[in-house]
Chains A and B, each alone.
Chain A
Amino acid sequence: MSDTTPDAELVLAGEEIGDVPRGLLGDAWYDLRRSVVFWISAVLLFFVALMVLVPGLLADIELTSSLTGGCQLSDSLQAPSAEHWFGTDRQGCDVYALTIHGARPSVMVGVLGAVITTAIGAVVGLVAGFYGGWIDGVLSRIVDIFYGLPLLLGGIVMLSALSLPGIWGVVAVLAVLGWVPAARLVRSTTIEGRSQEYTLAARALGAGNGRLMFRHILPNAIGPGLVLAVISLGAFVAVEATFSFLGLGIRPPGFSWGTMISDAQSVFFQAPWTLLFPAGFLSLTVLAFILLGDAARDSLDPRRQQGA
């Protein structure tokens, strides 16, 4: 027999394998480009990014404060007009300028919260799931305890006791109370990954724990982890709004979509625009992140059928 097996030519021809090779990200991008959902969320997030990064381009910061003379009480509660696109609030401040400049604290809370909770959850979940035994027992009980603490109630207690400035109080609450879903997700995907045959094969090759965790188990948890992170990012933006609404998050003179919604409640029937614009922007931002998470889940799964 020759140096290769009889059917080698068949495989060498490689015809049934088809299109060009692409990496994981290349593959995901190839898929994403064809996803309508992705493009909707991308357009929305582009505007969110503009508001967060360069709000000054879109609206004058001076229009948001009485101190700079931007707000005139005489302009209080004016309906949307050519001068005030989104109308004015009770202080006579421009709602458009407030909404644009209020995006940064809201989105910052979401991004920081998502990054921190995912990191904590990934470490706890990976260690618990990989080592199992008593380590898992201890960590899982801790997870159960934190799972039992309601985010809002625990947050109200924490924020009343602590006084961290601006968004940091809310971020601290999320870091302490918000990592449980990520830990549970990563733990279960780790347990699944640990018993996968490719992990077994790597162990048979002599791979150490670090290689098993970071080359074989964690990369396969990235898809669901990323989706959870993006979706919780949206949820955390709403949490910031909730705490600010309750007067516990961002406090004057700071403002965010949450404080705007809070301020609007008493004048909603006279001036619904004071509520509708910040609430609408909040909803669209949350929606954009959730849509992105959804689109990313589909395209990051290497086991999916090729879409094209």
Chain B
Amino acid sequence: MTDAEGPVPVLRANGLEKHYPITRGVVVRRAVGQVRAVDGVSLVLHRGETLAIVGESGCGKSTLGRLLLALEPPTDGTVWVTGDTLGDLNDNELRRKRREIQLILQDPYTSLNPRMTVGAIVAEPFAIHKESLPGGQDRRGAVRALLAEVGLSPELMNRYPHQFSGGQRQRIGIARALALRPGVIVADEPVSALDVSVQAQVLNLLADLQERRGLSYVFISHDLAVVRQIADRVAVMYLGRIVETAPVDAIYDHAAHPYTQALLAAVPSARSRGEERPKLNGDVPSAVDPPSGCRFRTRCWKAQDLCATQEPQLREVGTLHEAACHFPETGAASSAARGDLT
């Protein structure tokens, strides 16, 4: 995952925030509050790497994905993609920049326009960026090559999306994302709408493409089993913030943040049956009015007075391993400690 000179960053987010105003009134709108969907997220993605963003629904991970793609303007913070800060680009420059970062969406049934043939869907990137057609190829030939690359027969170009299965449709979405030969792909829950057997096929396809094309993925998911298969690094989000980030093995072997431990404990597995496991009580608090200090303290079994007054920052707890907790588990102690937490 690293070049000879060390990891090359291809995507960087700095202090990203997205606050949605809550408004009252029909004629005269006034803001009565804010939903802090993303609230100060910084991350780095390196070339050839897969960074998984995990968290419960509503933690802001999808919003984060849209900010990374400049589909929505951030309230604060910047996104940097291979040499350019997206917020500094004008419309034309941003349009050209989009060739370098693309998107794979969750639902294969709504992510393809039902009125367009598969050929037209996969050719649309070339219609928008006419200059991006691979040399010596016409549009049709380029589409055929893309369909073959994702494992679909090019003969199916004239069909409509509704004539395909979920997994096949997801392949079409992947072909569309690959058309402009981007270096970075943001995949927002790309397999969570698929059957488990199809999930594995699509994950394999993503891994093959990564190897062949040197892609970097931001892989947004709530499914820790899937993340373990594909990710190099994991960032755990809670209420709009990253609470822990570490190489994938470190997360699964010795998670430092209690929230991460609870998420892992919630993954069903044969091994942990009967064992006492940390359980998450209650729902995620509202992002309109997040708890003071540490956002997780309302559901945390380790919370102390300090947690209510002071917000923990990301601190190093191991090699490339950071956690935002006043009382992180360190090293191998965490897996042992997991037993007596309830």
Binding site for B on A (CB under 8 A): 1, 4-8, 11-14, 16-18, 21, 23-24, 27, 137, 196-198, 200-208, 211, 215-216, 219-220, 222, 302-303
What are 6 of the A-B contact pairs (CB < 8 Å)? A5-B205, A14-B156, A27-B160, A201-B105, A205-B102, A216-B113
What is the CA–CA distance of A11 and B103 in the complex, to the nearest angstrom? Answer: 23
CB–CB A204/B151 < 8 A = no
CB–CB B115/A17 < 8 A = no
What is the CA–CA distance of A6 and B204 in the complex, to the nearest angstrom? Answer: 9
Interface residues of B in 167-205 (CB under 8 A from A): 168, 171, 173, 176-177, 180, 201, 204-205
What is the CA–CA distance of A24 and B158 in the complex, to the nearest angstrom? Answer: 11
Total A-B residue contacts, Cβ distance less than 8 Å = 113
* B-chain residues with CB within 8 Å of residue A211 when the two chains form the complex: 127-128
* A-chain residues with CB within 8 Å of residue B66 when the two chains form the complex: 200
Partner of B151, one of A5, A16, A202: A5
Give the number of chain B interface residues (Cβ < 8 Å).
Answer: 52
What is the CA–CA distance of A72 and B315 in the complex, to the nearest angstrom? Answer: 104
Interface residues of B in 135-165 (CB under 8 A from A): 148-153, 155-156, 158-160, 162-165
Of all chain A residues, the one with the shortest Cβ separation from B204 is A5
CB–CB B201/A7 < 8 A = yes
What is the CA–CA distance of A215 and B151 in the complex, to the nearest angstrom? Answer: 27
* A-chain residues with CB within 8 Å of residue B107 when the two chains form the complex: 197
* B-chain residues with CB within 8 Å of residue A6 when the two chains form the complex: 201, 204
What is the CA–CA distance of A41 and B71 in the complex, to the nearest angstrom? Answer: 46
* B-chain residues with CB within 8 Å of residue A14 when the two chains form the complex: 153, 155-156
Interface residues of B in 86-106 (CB under 8 A from A): 94-96, 98-99, 102-103, 105-106
B213 at interface by CB-CB < 8 Å: no
* A-chain residues with CB within 8 Å of residue B160 when the two chains form the complex: 21, 24, 27, 302
* A-chain residues with CB within 8 Å of residue B69 when the two chains form the complex: 204
Partner of A21, one of B116, B124, B148, B163: B163
Partner of A201, one of B27, B165, B176: B176
CB–CB A1/B208 < 8 A = yes
CB–CB A5/B124 < 8 A = no
* B-chain residues with CB within 8 Å of residue A21 when the two chains form the complex: 117, 156, 158-160, 163
CB–CB A4/B148 < 8 A = yes
CB–CB B151/A302 < 8 A = no
CB–CB A5/B110 < 8 A = no
Partner of A202, one of B124, B158, B204: B124
Of all chain B residues, the one with the shortest Cβ separation from A19 is B163
Of all chain A residues, the one with the shortest Cβ separation from B112 is A198
What is the CA–CA distance of A27 and B208 in the complex, to the nearest angstrom? Answer: 36
